[in-house]
């Protein structure tokens, strides 16, 4: 397949590219959409989360473009997101869960999807590097942190809404006692 030459029939300049770089860009575009949807789905009790998500959206597009263009994800961005992640973890009053069966209402649905898409984006970074791309270290670190951040937000929203996400204990792997 190739571009027909008709600009109306081209959704994205790199859509026919063979590398994982384009796949990463498409996944992070999806991620930015999910974050926007989650922000809009936040109820009155989670307006602080909505504001955080709307602030985060441009950084996700920065992550998107950083694989091909100038890297726009810095150590300061990582530190800022890590601060927000720890802030939301500190709001949890219940038991801290490691892995849950994803459930919830409203914004939790999109946030669980965003968590999963973040993991896919990390895998695309791994694949792009295996294909010979030289990638800034900040990209995979930021994407990993996004995954954990989205998980924390689901726990906060569900705790506020009285939704219990059952903790999942794997039958496949034995966890070491802390």
On whether the CB atoms of residues 88 and 149 are closer than 8 A, the answer is yes
Q: Tokens 């150590």 appear where?
A: 75
pLDDT 10s digit of each residue in the chain, 178 long? Answer: 887 888 888 677 777 788 899 999 999 999 999 999 999 999 999 999 999 999 999 999 999 999 998 999 999 999 999 999 999 999 999 777 677 878 888 899 999 999 999 999 999 999 999 999 999 999 999 999 999 999 999 999 999 999 888 888 878 877 665 5
Determine the pLDDT at residue 172: 84
Tell me the C-alpha distance between 120 and 117, whole Å: 5
Determine the pLDDT at residue 14: 73
The DSSP secondary-structure symbol of 100 reads B
Q: How many CA atoms lie within 13 A of 97 on its CB side?
A: 19
Determine the pLDDT at residue 175: 62
Sequence-distant (≥ 6) Cβ neighbours of residue 61 within 8 angstroms: 28, 29, 32
pTM of the model: 0.90
Tell me the C-alpha distance between 173 and 11, whole Å: 43
Tell me the C-alpha distance between 100 and 102, whole Å: 6
Determine the pLDDT at residue 12: 72
Tell me the C-alpha distance between 27 and 32, whole Å: 9
- Domains in the chain (CATH in brackets) are 18-91+103-156 (1.20.1200.10)
């Amino acid at each position: 397949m190739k571009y027909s030459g008709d600009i109306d029939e081209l959704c994205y300049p790199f859509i026919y590219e063979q590398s994982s770089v384009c796949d990463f860009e498409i996944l992070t575009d999806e991620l930015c959409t999910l974050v926007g949807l989650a922000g809009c789905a936040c109820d009155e009790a989670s307006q602080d989360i909505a504001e955080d998500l709307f602030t985060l959206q441009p950084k996700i597009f920065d992550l998107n473009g950083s694989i091909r263009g100038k890297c726009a994800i810095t150590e300061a961005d990582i530190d800022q997101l890590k601060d927000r992640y720890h802030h939301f973890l500190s709001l949890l009053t219940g038991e801290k869960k490691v892995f849950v069966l994803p459930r919830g209402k409203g914004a939790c649905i999109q946030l669980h999807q965003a968590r999963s898409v973040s993991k896919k984006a990390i895998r695309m970074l791994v694949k792009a590097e295996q294909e010979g791309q030289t990638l800034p270290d900040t990209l995979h670190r930021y994407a990993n942190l996004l995954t954990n951040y989205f998980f924390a937000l689901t726990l906060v929203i569900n705790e506020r809404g009285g939704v219990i996400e059952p903790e999942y204990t794997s039958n496949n792997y034995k966890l070491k006692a802390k």
